[in-house]
Amino acid sequence: MSRRHFLAAAVAALSIGAVGAGVAYAAVPPAISAALADKGRPEAEVKRDAARHPGELLAWAGVKPGDRVADFIMGGGYFTRILSATVGPKGHVYAYQPAEFIKFRAAYADEQKAVAGAYPNVTPISSPFSELKLPEKLDLVLTVQNYHDLHLKPFPADNAARMNAEIYRALKPGGAFVVVDHVGPAGEGVPDKLHRIDPAQVRKEVEAAGFKYAGSSDLLKDAADAHTANVFDPSIRGKTDQFAMKFVKPKG
């Protein structure tokens, strides 16, 4: 195949999109492209787009104007801002920042307040994990680089199971739960030690809540990551191998 024909085939494949175990690419729709160009996004966050691929990720997740979504453990609001601009005035975003995280780092509360103040369709939620009640009939729940935190030692052993059950309850039938996190080895204590998690463990836990596995994406894959360093280690920070998995609440 000539280089010209190869490039044409590659572009066609990206525009069509695909979902499957380990493969997922999708063209970025106009609503998401416009959200990425939102002038309200901090410059520091825009600079991270090249590594985080938010447009392709959200296209694969299926978010669209009018959706009701939850940014589960929102951090500084990187995805909250993009989601808000994508779903638009007819949609809504619930930005969840656990009270436990705010207690650990007070700036999380200020960041959550700033995002909610700048985007009218964002509602902040900051209850403890044990008291979380998400609004019902959500179209999508997205959690990025935080699922492993559900397994940190300060939290009860059943914390992940309880959160998965709450997310399942809140999603409408056919709604999606998308999990993105740093790939880690199997074993006890990995989330605390490395801030990573074994993808197989995540899939097992989420399916146990009643979800059906709907595919994975290799968009954030990085074979150079040996999965042995803490994600905050300067040698690997911002360059970790990450998995992305989509789960769906059955319609029946």
- Which domains occur in the chain, in start order? 3-248 (3.40.50.150)
Position 1 scores a pLDDT of 38
Please list the residues that pair with 220 across neighbouring strands.
none
pLDDT in tens, 78-101: 999 999 999 999 999 999 999 999
Which strand (E) or helix (H) includes residue 58?
helix 54-61
Q: State the greatest distance between any 2 C-alpha atoms of the chain, in Å, as a whole number.
A: 59
- Which segments of the chain have a pLDDT < 70? 1-25
Position 25 scores a pLDDT of 63
Position 23 scores a pLDDT of 44
Position 9 scores a pLDDT of 36
Position 252 scores a pLDDT of 76
Distance CA 21, CA 241 (A): 16
* Cβ proximity of 142 and 80 under 8 Å: no
Cβ neighbours for 162, distance < 8 A, ≥ 6 positions apart: 129, 130, 156
Q: What is the pTM of this model?
A: 0.90
Helix (H) and strand (E) counts in the chain: 11, 9
CB atoms closer than 10 angstroms to residue 58: 26
Position 113 scores a pLDDT of 97
